[in-house]
């Protein structure tokens, strides 16, 4: 079974963030760049099969990258708080923002599944990000 397109795009956007933020060691950077390239090759297969267009892939990648970058930055804020730079209230507000960002990420992935017919729509049951996901999907339609 191959990875669904939405998962490939999500994983590739996260690897891009890792390359941008954590690639100090040359060996790690090479491994991450290879992983990014492997995801790209798998995504190109979907384009070649006419499941989607290059333009759609670029748009979806950017949307997922932006959502994942927001979460990445918020989680960095919480890590700072763990060493005493944030109050508990600020950490709580940041955790809520992470939940909302995740809801948007799930919404983007659901949109990709709906538009391509490939993959599985993620279903949140009694999950904190459900409200944000529903709002994103309402605005998308």
pLDDT at 83: 64
With CA atoms as reference, report the closest residue to 99 among 118, 81, 122, 74. 74
Q: Phi and psi dihedrals of 44, rounded to 5?
A: -60, -35
State how many domains the chain has: 1
Predicted TM-score (pTM) above 0.85? no
pLDDT at 60: 98
pLDDT at 11: 98
Range of the domain at 39: 5-140
pLDDT at 95: 87
pLDDT at 122: 76
Tokens of 123: 């279903």
3-state DSSP of 23-74: CCCHHHHHHHHHHHHHHHHHHHHHHHCCCCCHHHHHHHHHHHHHHHHHHHHH
pLDDT at 128: 61
Average pLDDT for runs of 10 along the chain of length 141 = 94 96 82 97 98 98 97 85 75 89 94 93 66 65 56
pLDDT at 8: 98
């Amino acid at each position: 079974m191959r990875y669904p397109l939405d998962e490939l795009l999500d994983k590739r956007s996260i690897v891009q963030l890792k390359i941008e933020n954590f690639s100090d060691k040359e060996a790690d950077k090479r491994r991450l760049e290879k992983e990014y390239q492997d995801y790209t090759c798998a995504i190109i297969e979907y384009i070649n099969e006419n499941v989607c267009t290059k333009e759609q892939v670029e748009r979806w990648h950017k949307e997922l990258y932006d959502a994942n970058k927001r979460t990445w930055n918020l989680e960095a804020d919480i890590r700072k708080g763990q060493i005493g730079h944030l109050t508990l209230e600020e950490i709580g507000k940041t955790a809520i923002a992470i939940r909302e960002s995740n809801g948007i990420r799930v919404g983007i992935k659901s949109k990709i599944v709906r538009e391509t017919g490939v993959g599985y729509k993620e279903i949140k049951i009694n999950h904190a990000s459900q409200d944000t996901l529903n709002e994103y999907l309402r605005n998308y339609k």
